[in-house]
Amino acid sequence: MTLTEKKDALVEDLSIIEDPQERFAYIIENARSQPALTAEFKVEAFRIKGCQSQLWLVPRLENGLCYFETDSDAVITKGIAGLLTQLYSGFPPEEIIETPPNFLAEVGITQHLTPNRRNGLSNVWNTIKSFAEHCLNQVQRP
Catalytic residues: 51
d(Cα 75, Cα 65) in Å, to the nearest integer?
27
* CA distances to 24, 114, 115 from 86, in Å: 16, 23, 23
Contacts of 125 (CB under 8 A, 6+ apart): 84, 100, 101
Helix (H/G/I), strand (E/B), else coil: 62:
strand
In angstroms, how far apart are the furthest CA atoms of the chain? 51
